[in-house]
Structures are given as structure tokens and as C-alpha cells.
Amino acid sequence: MRTQVAIVGAGPAGLVLAHLLHLRGIDSVVLERQTRAHVERRIRAGVLEHGTVELLRDTGLADRLDRERMVHHGLELLFDRAGHRVDLTGLAGREITIYGQHELVKDLIAARLATGRPLLFAAPATGFSGLDTASPVVHFVHEGRERELRADVVAGCDGFHGVSRQGLPGHTVSTVSHDYPYAWLGVLADAPPSSEELIYAYHERGFALHSMRTPTITRLYLQVPPDAQLAGWPDERIWAELRTRLARDDPAWQLAGGPILEKGITGLRSVVTEPMRFGRLFLAGDAAHIVPATGAKGLNLAVADVSVLAAALGQWYASGAERLLDTYSGTCLRRVWRVQHFSWWMTSMLHRDPAGDPFTAALQRSQLQYLTSSTAAATSFAENYVGLPLEGGTDHDHA
């Protein structure tokens, strides 16, 4: 098999890249390890930055999103049993969108299939050869057979547990990481949201987050120990803990309950691999970096990477110029590190230190008080939360 760009992974990064290349007339093959049903059911992110939505809209990917999304102009920080609204749109001029990642992935898969260009499910990449040549090869398995995909360029969009990062020779890259002493227990509940906006709660018993997917489905998270097991968290315990951590003095507020449809535990981590390139292999999205979910940035960062990569490949195929390919990693990493800092900062402010250090707790409370009383502090927070503008402006819509 031969193509121009071999894309490993059909998550948001791989699928958006495939579409941006298609609009530029560039051929690609997408290889996905899982089945279609699996990736379309995987519950993950829910918050899309303004710039992500604009890119999707400009490239014809937002028809259903525009019909079904929930637009939020603010969020709430809850501490000491009192909520404080941050007016995101008023402070930063942009709103955020709530739309489940799995719904977006469904839209992206449908758009890809409509182009007639190849997308292979149950086709795991197993390794690479010739990455430092002009004709790299992806080795993969499909329908029980070992196969080869030859390309001009490989895009490693296979997430944190993929093979692409491991394809980079150790001496050419460095990986920096930071682990946090807590994890998130996430649940999807058949219950209407109890608030119109997201609630990020700081509480002595640990962080909690009230989010949503639709007017009838709530998404909730609890800080748990990093070694927590689902078996230790029956539904009643989850609801009791959520009620405690989200409680407030306002007697009118109540957390709506309902059947839990799905639950899972995710560790919080910060990881960056630099540079995001080796020879003809370009990493994008979670394959190159992970941020703790507190800032709601992972999916958005994946889309930002591939908009830079698509523009670079577009320039290269159109003119042979390598300038944007050469600056790809540096351009992405500037945004990645801004987002890393924001996500680490927000995580550190909102999570309970398991060691119970009173100094840390007093600093967190002071930071929350400052953030909710200073327009300058709130503006900086809002600007980062709604997302900084995408590099290259609207270049992505130039087919």
C-alpha cells in the first residue's frame, strides 16, 4: 500500500488531520487499532475551545456540532460553600462549547468515509522503518495479515499509549514528565445538569467537577487517590461524595441524581516529548504530550497541532518548501508549554494535597480568593481557559 501521508490513529488528531489534508488534495491512509464501535463509544473530553470550533466550522465539520452543542459563556469556581462565576466571554471575548469527544469522533469518521479515502479500523501499527529516509514505512496488521504502508510522511496521532513515540530513537528526543498524587474518577449520569455551567469545586475532601454532555446527561468527576479502584466506588458512595464536595450554602441548589451510565478512573499527568519530529515522522496530540484534564485542553491541543501540521504539509506539497515542516515542532511546543503551565497551575490550585499540608491549603485558598476578586487575575484565567488563538490564523481553511 502506498499513500502521501500515513496517519496512525483515528482519534481527534488523526481524523482532523486527514480532513485538513483532504481539503488540500493530499492523499492519506488512516490506520486505527480499535474498531469503529469502540472509538465511537469512548467517553472522554467535553470542552471545545472557541478556536477548535471555528476550525471545525471553517472546514465543514461542524453541522451537527452547531445544532447540538451547548454554548457556555462562563463557569463557576466553588470553595468554602460559595460559588463564584467567572464571566469567560465578558473577560476574554470568546465562549466555550460543550460537545462530547465521542460525538465529534463520530462526525469526523462520517466525514472521512464520505471522502472515499481510506480509514482502516482494527488495523494496529506495529512499528516503522526508514523514518530518516524519503520513503518511510508503517508496519501494521489487518485482517490477520502483516502489511506495509509506504508514504512520504508519517503522522503519529496514536495517543499516549501508541507506538509512534516509541518509534523515535531515544537519543534524538527528550521526554519531560510530571505525575500528580491523585487521579480522577469520572462518571456519566442519566441526570439533568444541576447548573447551567461547569462547576470546579475545591473542597477539604478533594476536588470535584460538575460538567455535562446534553440537557439530560451530566458528566461528573471526583479527585481520588492515584491507586483507587472502581470496585471501591459503588454508585451510592460516588453520589454521597459528590453531594458533599459540591454542597453550598444556597438552600435552593441541589445535585440531581440518576443512574450512572459509565464510570472510569484516569490518572493525571503532564508529559512533553521534544522535538515532536524525527525525520519523516511527525507526532501530534496525545502521542506527543499529555496534560492533566483540569484545564480541559488535551483535545484542543491535538487539533491545534494538526492545524499546524496540515499547513506545513500543504506548503511542502505545493512548493517543495520545507520551512513550515522545519518549524512544526517549535511552533507547536510554544502552545504546548503555555497549556502545560495553565493545566498544571489549575490542577495545583484545585486539588487537595494528599499529605494535607496546611501551607499548601492556605495558598490554594488565597489563589482562589484572588482569582474570584481581581479582574486582572480572572482575565488571565479566562484568556487561557477559552484558548489562545490558533497559530497561522485561518490558514487552515485554504484548501
Applying CB under 6 A, the residues found at the interface with ligand PHB are 45-47, 198, 209, 211, 219, 293-294, 296
Q: Which is nearer to ligand FAD, 341 or 365 (CB)?
A: 341
Cβ at position 249, least distance to ligand FAD in Å? 28
CB atoms within 10 A of CB 72: 19
99 vs 317 by CB, closer to ligand FAD: 99
Q: Name which of ligand FAD, ligand PHB, none residue 30 binds, using a CB cut-off of 5 to 8 Å depending on partner kind.
A: none
The least CB distance from residue 72 to ligand FAD, in Å, is 12
Cell 445538569 belongs to residue: 193
The helices-and-strands tally (H runs, E runs) of the chain is 12, 20
Contact flag: residue 31 with ligand FAD (CB under 6 A) = yes
Question: Pseudo-torsion of CA 316, 318, 321, 325, nearest 10°?
Answer: -20
Q: Assess 158 for contact with ligand FAD (CB under 6 A).
A: yes
Return the ∠ at Cα 68 (arms to 67 and 73), rounded to 5°: 100
What does the alpha-carbon distance between residue 51 and residue 143 come to, in Å, rounded to a whole number? 38
Can residue 100 be called a binding residue for ligand FAD (CB under 6 A)?
no
One residue of 28, 286, 344, 346 binding ligand FAD per CB under 6 A: 286
Task: Classify strands 82-86 and 75-79 as parallel, antiparallel or unpaired.
Answer: antiparallel
With CB under 5 to 8 Å by kind, the binding choice for 219 among ligand PHB, ligand FAD, none is ligand PHB
Sheet holding 145-150, edge to edge: 125-129, 137-142, 145-150
Give strand pairing partners of 146: 141
**Residue closer to ligand FAD (CB basis): 204 or 346:** 346
Q: Which is nearer to ligand PHB, 169 or 264 (CB)?
A: 264
Among 24, 36, 44, 338, binds ligand FAD (CB under 6 A): 44
CB 269 within 8 A of CB 123: no
Residue closer to ligand PHB (CB basis): 91 or 96: 96
Min dist CB 198 to ligand PHB, Å, is: 6
Question: 3-state DSSP: the chain helix, strand, coil percent, rounded to 5?
Answer: 40, 25, 35
Burial string for 164-200 (b: 16+ CB within 10 Å, else e) reads bbebbeeeebeeeeeebebbbbbbbbebebbbebbbb
Nine-digit cell at 110?
462520517
Q: Which is nearer to ligand FAD, 266 or 360 (CB)?
A: 266
Chosen from ligand FAD, ligand PHB, none, partner binding at 294 (C-beta under 5 to 8 Å by type): ligand PHB
Write the CA distances from 190 to 43, 113, 184, 372, integer angstroms: 14, 31, 19, 31
Q: How far is the CB of 274 from ligand FAD (least distance, A)?
A: 16
What is the smallest separation between the CB atom of 127 and ligand FAD, expressed in angstroms? Answer: 9
Q: Cα separation of 169 and 395, whole Å? A: 32
Residue ranges in 261-280 that form contacts with ligand FAD under rule CB under 6 A: 266
Please provide the distance, in angstroms rounded to a whole number, between the alpha carbons at the two ends of the chain.
25
Per CB under 6 A, the list member of 6, 21, 45, 346 interacting with ligand FAD is 45
Element (H, E) at 240: helix 235-245
Residue 156 Cβ vs ligand FAD, minimum distance, rounded to whole Å: 9
Provide the minimum distance between the beta carbon of 105 and ligand FAD in the complex, in angstroms, as a whole number: 8
Question: Binding of ligand FAD at residue 124 (CB under 6 A)?
Answer: yes
**Residue 252 grid cell:** 435552593
3 contributes a contact to ligand FAD by CB under 6 A:
no
Question: Is residue 285 a contact point for ligand FAD (CB under 6 A)?
Answer: yes
Shortest CB 300 distance to ligand FAD, Å: 4
Residue 83: strand pairing partners: 78
Among 19, 20, 26, 46, binds ligand FAD (CB under 6 A): 46
CA atoms within 13 A on the CB side of 316: 20
Interface residues for ligand FAD in 168-207 (CB under 6 A)? 186
What residues line the site for ligand FAD (CB under 6 A)?
A: 8-14, 31-34, 39, 44-47, 101, 124-125, 157-159, 161-163, 186, 266, 285-286, 293, 296-300, 302
